[in-house]
Amino acid sequence: MFRFYQLIIGILLIFYFLEKYNITFCKDCADPHNCKHDCYVLEDNKQLCLCNDNEGGIDCKEKWNVCEKDCNIYGMNESCSMALCKTGKCVPTNDKPYYKCECGDFFKGKNCEIENNPCSFPETNPCLNGTCIFIIKLNRIICKCNNGWTQKNMQSATILSWGNEKVEVPPPCD
């Protein structure tokens, strides 16, 4: 009998809070409605369309382009394209996460976050016995030789093909 009273009190409390805080249950819109997907009727008889992640607008028929939106990530006022693809180009897609990055020849990774140049890997370091420094805007490498190693003065720079790019490489440290 005690459980019965608990149930009754619980039901009464639910109705009390629904009325007090003006909570209503959603009703489906009558067909035909203008929404591309699900439609619900609000208290004032206005229709509310529930859109998929990459859709927007009153009736969800507009595609949301994540690459063109302004992002305010961690208080930095930068474009979503820059926030998502770093140095690459953001391209909208129809599938989650609704973008892909075209990184070019000097970066790779899902968001172009990994450097990909001759200095990035020991096996492609043209400096041999020195520190390789890549200057991306100039497509040029500078070799800072380790102690005891030098570049030959009479040797000229060479051109290295890296993807579709050409990179100027100084003489190695030997």
Q: Which residues lie across from 130 on neighbouring strands?
A: 145
pLDDT tens per residue across span 86-102:
889 999 888 888 889 99
Residue 102's CATH number: 2.10.25.10
Q: Tell whether 131 and 111 lie within a shared domain.
A: no
Last residue of a domain, one of 72, 97, 116: 116
If pLDDT is split at 50, 70 and 90, which confidence band does 1 have? low
Instruction: Supply the pLDDT for residue 6.
Output: 62
> Using CA atoms, how far apart are residues 145 and 128, in angstroms rounded to an integer?
9
> Using CA atoms, how far apart are residues 141 and 78, in angstroms rounded to an integer?
30
Answer yes or no: are the C-beta atoms of 17 and 57 closer than 8 Å: no
Q: Tell whether 112 and 148 lie within a shared domain.
A: no
Instruction: Supply the pLDDT for residue 7.
Output: 54
Question: Which pTM was predicted?
Answer: 0.62
Structural domain boundaries enclosing 151: 118-169
| Residue 21 covered by a domain | no
Q: Tell whether 75 and 109 lie within a shared domain.
A: yes
Q: Tell whether 107 and 131 lie within a shared domain.
A: no
Q: Tell whether 108 and 134 lie within a shared domain.
A: no
| Residue 85 covered by a domain | yes
How many domains does the structure of the chain reveal? Answer: 3
| Residue 22 covered by a domain | no
| Residue 51 covered by a domain | yes
| Residue 52 covered by a domain | yes
| Residue 106 covered by a domain | yes
| Residue 57 covered by a domain | yes
> Using CA atoms, how far apart are residues 89 and 101, in angstroms rounded to an integer?
6
| Residue 5 covered by a domain | no
Q: Tell whether 103 and 127 lie within a shared domain.
A: no
